[in-house]
Amino acid sequence: MRPIVIATAAVAAVVLLVGGAFGVQYLISPKSYDECMLSEMRGQDQAMFSTARITCERRHAVEVAIPITSDDWRWTNDRLYALVTLSDQILTGYTPTRAQFAFSTETCAETDVNAMEKHIPSIAKNGGFQLGIMAPSDPKCLHMLELWGTRK
């Protein structure tokens, strides 16, 4: 009977020690992006800044500009909505939150991007965007100007 009591007490002590350590870590962990950056960079070389920035952006869901190329997205037009789908490469690293597009009723070869109308979508879902474009009702050219999201 005595070995069972000792084993139970030892297990309880280990559970309290480990649980207490995690509880203390939670209570003293940085609560904001700025606190996280200060904590991560304390005593570090300047070369670690980008690693600390990415770590803190992930922890605190900071919205960042996502670098994109024309290969990172596709779009289709079903006359009511322009549906934009993002590549798996973008979706594995980021959760898109918003984007800015420029569109035109002319083909892309005939259109100057700077002269196109701009539209900020309100719906980001399923790894892409659904753009409710009222006018022009039939865009033939769409350019993604900016893409924003949080790091995964």
Which letter, b or e, does each residue of 13-27 get, where b requires 16 or more Cβ atoms within 10 Å of its Cβ?
eeeeeeeeeeeeeee
Question: pLDDT band at 136, cuts 50/70/90?
Answer: low
Q: pLDDT tens-digit profile of 86-129?
A: 888 998 999 888 888 887 878 888 888 777 777 666 566 666 67
- 66 compared with 23, residue with greater pLDDT: 66
Contact assessment for residue 97 and residue 124, using Cβ atoms and an 8 Å cutoff: yes
pTM value?
A: 0.69
Question: pLDDT band at 133, cuts 50/70/90?
Answer: low
Q: Tokens representing 119?
A: 């539209």
Give the position of tokens 């009591």. 5
